[in-house]
Amino acid sequence: METILGFLGLVITTLVALFTALALQTLLLRAAFALMQPATADRRNPQPAIEQGTALVARAFRKAR
């Protein structure tokens, strides 16, 4: 009987440690994603280079006239 109780204590302790480790891992993973969020938060489209080049050509043509 004492052996069964010892084994049951070991099983319960192992399960508690397993769920604690999983909870900690989930918490750290969520924290990592939260810290990475500002790097991807800026979703503005940059002005394409062709539009900048067109504007430069238009200004040069206007000055040449």
In this model, does residue 38 exceed pLDDT 70? no
On average, the pLDDT of the chain sits at 84
Rounded Cα gap, residues 15 and 7, in angstroms: 12
Please work out, in degrees rounded to the nearest 5, the angle formed at the alpha carbon of residue 58 by the alpha carbons of 52 and 61: 140
Q: What is the pLDDT at residue 43?
A: 67
The whole-angstrom separation of Cα 10 and Cα 4 is 10
Distance CA 43, CA 52 (A): 20
The most distant pair of C-alpha atoms in the chain lies apart, rounded to whole Å, by 103
pTM for this predicted structure: 0.52
d(CA 62, CA 44): 30
